[in-house]
Amino acid sequence: MKNILLISAALFSLSLSAAEMTVEVKNPLKLDRTQEPVAIGMDKIQAKLKVKITQLSVYDGKTLLCSQLDDFDSDGKLDELSFLLDVKSGETKKIRLVANENVKSPCAEGRVHAQLFLRN
């Protein structure tokens, strides 16, 4: 059975700005989660933010997190926001999402090396 961080559409709430929102992420387990992947469908985000989203900044408090927007089916529409988060046992964090902010997301250190080779 997979242990999954709880993210619920019911937990989305709008902030003061029309271009930002807050989402709650809860760790219901009795163990700390370090660099846990969190993914949120863009349909849930877009339903709350009434602007065309070209980039999203993700904040844990005042800390800007490394994040990425993915288009999995190459249809030109963003499908998912993903980021890594540290969440202690039983903790609920309020994560702020800001649309189209002119900041550069910090890069995560590379932990994977992959190559694609063509067959001869």
Query: CA separation (Å) from 108 to 9, 49, 66, 112?
Result: 27, 26, 6, 11
Q: What is the DSSP letter of 29?
A: S
Q: Are strands 13-14 and 20-26 parallel, antiparallel or unpaired?
A: antiparallel
Cβ atoms within 10 Å of 51's Cβ, excluding its own: 12
Tens digits of per-residue pLDDT, 2-26? 455 555 433 344 444 458 999 999 9
pLDDT at residue 7 in the model: 52
Q: For all residues of the chain together, what is the average pLDDT?
A: 83
Q: Which of 63, 20, 70, 67 is nearest to 45 (CA)?
A: 20
What is this structure's pTM? 0.74
pLDDT band at 45 (very low <50, low <70, confident <90, very high): very high
Query: Tens of pLDDT along 85-104?
Result: 999 999 999 999 999 988 87
